[in-house]
Amino acid sequence: MSLLEDKTPSRTPLSKLGEFGLIQHISKNFELKNDTSSFGIGDDCAVIDVGQHFQLITTDMLIEGVHFDLTYTPLKHLGYKSVVVNLSDIYAMNGLPKQITVSIALSNRFPLEAVEELYEGIRLACVAYNVDLVGGDTTSSTSGLCLSITAIGEIAKDKIVYRSGAKEHDLIVVSGDLGSAYLGLQLLNREKQVFESNPQMQPDLQDKDYILQRQLKPEARKDIIDLFESKGIVPSSMIDISDGLSSELLHLCSSSRVGCVIYEEKLPIDFMAISTAEEFNISAATCALNGGEDYELLFTISQTHYDAIKDDPDLTIIGHITDKSHGSVLVTKDENHQPLTAQGWNALS
Amino acid sequence: MSLLEDKTPSRTPLSKLGEFGLIQHISKNFELKNDTSSFGIGDDCAVIDVGQHFQLITTDMLIEGVHFDLTYTPLKHLGYKSVVVNLSDIYAMNGLPKQITVSIALSNRFPLEAVEELYEGIRLACVAYNVDLVGGDTTSSTSGLCLSITAIGEIAKDKIVYRSGAKEHDLIVVSGDLGSAYLGLQLLNREKQVFESNPQMQPDLQDKDYILQRQLKPEARKDIIDLFESKGIVPSSMIDISDGLSSELLHLCSSSRVGCVIYEEKLPIDFMAISTAEEFNISAATCALNGGEDYELLFTISQTHYDAIKDDPDLTIIGHITDKSHGSVLVTKDENHQPLTAQGWNALS
């Protein structure tokens, strides 16, 4: 029911475009006119030229029931994670985060003590990553909790790393390990179902600390950015892994107009993730390729840096960049060459 | 029902603190550590020192059912207004906005065409105010529409205006007129009720264009910032009027540690607002003092600037700053001296 005449009788469902399609569709009507707007939509951050350096801006919105489930997410962890996922985008351009703003909408089912827990998590992340909370907005919501965080960082002009700089023969590298956050989520959802059918049951989460932490309290890879600095490495391209390795690597290849080959056997997967995947009867490699929320860094470097990184336990070379004509290829353990496909988590699906 | 043990049995309702109380309560645990963080929470914008100039950052979150009602708000207007309310905060520090980021969460009841309308409004505001859309986030929501916009602006270091600079004897000035946006909202709510009880009725909004526009498609006062520049005026303090004149003036006096006297008879109120207030049998002065969403500028200037502004039809001197010990006073038309009280719209009430 509306006071307004319906002038748009045609109705195209958003699911037809998906999140990235929608962003592309909308952003084509916008052009950058201010000369301080160096880079707009299409990378981990927007880039503003503030004179001596570049400033990086990124923003994320987190909705209860879509991005988090308060049944098993402690508010303090939620606050911490909400900050970390934004900082990860700053690091993904080789920058250092400096400030955040936090906006929250919440219904009156949340008492002050809940808000304090949430902000305590935000504060802990600010301390851990040396960023300042400088502003935000606080309002009521009609139903759930909604969080919107903007992070602001900076980077020297000659050290900024975009998604678009990967070159043929560059090595493809990921930090840490993949798939654990997704498996942590599966565990939590399983325990939620058990709990809902029998609230007397104790959650069976023994020995699962690592993968639960990967889901509930991820960290952003500031240490990798420090490593680049100390070794004098500037990656040719970089992106953070929030939607799954496949999806992010395809973004990177598309922006760089290149192809890639990666090897299933090289994928870094934690032993606890492997055993949990077995429990759930799913492929650990699939979790690593398509599970979201790892917040690791995916980057490419020139082969000349091979010696500098080859022995680093936090870095794994998983393949190399090829000419665009070769497409994006996954070589499976049984030597099958498959086209890499993005089955990453789609926020609009 | 929660998997998590309740460690916070005490429950203080948020309404006990209100929005500003909550912000104060939370922000006391956060301190600024980065030397580029010049000013954090407590003004219209955060201030970042980027070297040659200051950068201004402000953010607002708008929730369907709390901040807007899609029954009578065209999505194009909503997009436009969402941008404008953020730009108004940049102007309130004498700055010029340059970039925005826009995050939206929306349920699948919105077709692509609705999203296009929303972004067309955002685009029109970008064109009108010469700002660039540089980023954002797009996600799904479980129910309504949620918008979060961050605006980024800049200002020369010697021209930034805080809320805190008002001095005794300074003139208190407002731009434009007050109360119309609130009356526009009353009209729309009345017509919504009529429509809901009888969908065949045509809305009775004849001759109400101005106050409807003030509610549905407000503008930010870039022209006043240009005027300051052309006349060489830097206000001693400034704030934008989003929650009502009384509330904003009390913020300004509190930040500046001063008192004030304003005169009811000086309040700038449009004739259509006066006649509409009569229709609704409410005081137009009350609407001007406590009605929200006017997005006019409230500022103080030294008396030496009196001649420069006294004949400007867009500016009205409504009173002057006094010593803190005199409190904040409203002189009514019948010469009563009343303490000024904030009955402004409280987002958490």
Mean pLDDT by 10 residues, chain B (349 residues): 54 82 86 92 93 95 92 94 97 97 91 93 97 93 91 97 97 97 92 84 79 94 96 97 94 97 97 94 94 95 96 96 97 94 56
Query: Crossing angle, helix B180-197 and helix B209-216, to 10 degrees?
Result: 100
Residue type, A292: G
**CB-based contact A116 B142, cutoff 8 Å:** no
> Residue A20: pLDDT band by 50, 70, 90 thresholds?
confident
Tokens of A302: 């020139």
B28 in contact with A at a CB cutoff of 8 Å? no
Give the distance, in angstroms, between the CA of residue A229 and the centroid of all CA atoms in the same chain. 22
B33 in contact with A at a CB cutoff of 8 Å? yes
Confidence (pLDDT) at B309? 94
Q: Rounded to whole angstroms, how far apart are CA atoms B284 and A112?
A: 36
Q: Is the model's pLDDT at A274 over the cut of 90?
A: yes
Q: Rounded to whole angstroms, how far apart are CA atoms B134 and A54?
A: 14
For chain A, positions 198-217, list CB contacts with chain B under 8 A: 199, 203
Q: Is the model's pLDDT at A196 over the cut of 80?
A: yes
Look up tokens 């004149």; give the residue: B245
Our CA-based measurement puts residue B282 at a distance from the nearest CA of chain A, in whole angstroms, of 25
Q: Is the model's pLDDT at A347 over the cut of 70?
A: no
Q: Is the model's pLDDT at A1 over the cut of 60?
A: no
Q: Please tell me which residue of chain B has the smallest CA distance to A190.
A: B3
Confidence (pLDDT) at A5? 52
Of A66, A98, A123, the CB nearest to B139: A66
B155 in contact with A at a CB cutoff of 8 Å? no
Q: Where do the domains of chain A lie, and which CATH numbers do they carry? A: 34-155 (3.30.1330.10), 163-339 (3.90.650.10)
**CB-based contact A41 B136, cutoff 8 Å:** yes
Confidence (pLDDT) at B61? 94
> Residue A6: pLDDT band by 50, 70, 90 thresholds?
low
A171 in contact with B at a CB cutoff of 8 Å? no
> Residue A349: pLDDT band by 50, 70, 90 thresholds?
very low
Residue type, A198: N
Confidence (pLDDT) at B329? 96
Say if residues A34 and B131 touch (Cβ distance below 8 Å).
Answer: yes
Our CA-based measurement puts residue B119 at a distance from the nearest CA of chain A, in whole angstroms, of 7
A214-227 pLDDT tens trace? 999 999 999 999 99
Confidence (pLDDT) at B348? 41
Q: Rounded to whole angstroms, how far apart are CA atoms B308 and B180?
A: 27
Confidence (pLDDT) at A10? 76
Q: Is pLDDT larger for residue B122 or for residue A346?
A: B122
A123 in contact with B at a CB cutoff of 8 Å? yes
**Helix, strand, or coil (residue A79):** helix
Query: Crossing angle, helix A75-91 and helix A112-129, to 10 degrees?
Result: 30
Give the distance, in angstroms, between the CA of residue A245 and the centroid of all CA atoms in the same chain. 10
Least confident of A195-199, A335-339, B87-91, B245-249: A195-199
Q: What angle do CA A349, A184, A341 make, to 5 degrees?
A: 45
Short-list A208, A209, A207, A238, CA closest to A221:
A238
Confidence (pLDDT) at B347? 40
Helix residue spans in chain A (DSSP H) = 18-27, 75-91, 112-129, 180-197, 209-216, 222-231, 245-256, 271-280, 284-290, 306-309
Q: If phi over 0 gives left and psi between -120 and 50 gives alpha, with beta otherwise, what is residue A265?
A: alpha
In this structure, what are the phi and psi dihedrals at residue A127, rounded to the nearest 5 degrees?
-70, -45
**pLDDT averaged over every residue in chain A:** 91
ipTM over 0.85: yes
Tokens of A84: 């970390």
> Residue A9: pLDDT band by 50, 70, 90 thresholds?
low
DSSP B156-179: -TTT---GGG--TTPEEEEES-SS
